[in-house]
Amino acid sequence: MKVSFIKSGLSALFLAALLAGCSSNPVVDEQPASTDIEDTSVQTGQVDSSEIEDAAVDVEAIAADTIFYFDFDKALLKPESRAALLEHSAMLQGNPRNVRLEGHADERGTREYNMALGERRAQAVKEFLVLQGVSPSLIEVISYGEERAAAYGSNDDAWGLNRRVELK
């Protein structure tokens, strides 16, 4: 009960943050709030962390990030992705389920090269999870290259949001 209250309160906060963000570029790909509340909360990286503390939310109670970001033409996991990935590997070992890692690239560079880059990023996430003990048979990797942008606009902010791996 309490957790769900916190979550919905948080999601409202995030929606507000997202809406506020909408006035300037990039336009964030709008997902319906419904079942994606946990996914939405993953956007922590995008929101000013002080706002979260102001709201006095117990960060521990929130589901781990499911989107992991990368640098241009790179497939190295960023240090800030570690905590969430450790949490996912613990969850997947305790409660095994099939997951899909979708790798993406920003629009710069060529489409087929970006397909390969997206796959390399998703493989990097998979390798991390497998190293932590997750069974590789649970993990499917697929690359969408630059074909499925999360944010629109040809600018650094949009590109940063698009260089990602989504855990589904």
For binding to other proteins (CB under 8 A), which residues are involved? 22, 29-31, 73, 107-113, 115-117, 119-120, 141-145, 147-148, 152-154
Token code pair at residue 27: 């336009």
Q: In the complex with other proteins, which residue's Cβ is closer, 110 or 135?
A: 110
- Closest distance of CB 107 from other proteins, Å: 6
Q: DSSP letters along 40-52, please?
A: HHGGGGGS-HHHH
Judged by beta carbon, residue 78 or residue 111, the one nearer other proteins is 111
Query: How do 67-69 and 164-167 pair as beta strands?
Result: antiparallel
Q: Are strands 151-152 and 27-28 parallel, antiparallel or unpaired?
A: antiparallel
Given the complex with other proteins, which of 36 and 80 has the nearer CB atom? 36
Q: How far is the CB of 94 from other proteins (least distance, A)?
A: 27
Residue 140 CB, nearest distance to other proteins (Å)? 8
Comparing CB distances to other proteins, the nearer of 135 and 154 is 154
The DSSP bridge pattern shows strands 99-104 and 139-145 to be parallel
Residues 6 or more apart from 71 whose CB is under 8 A from it? 78, 163
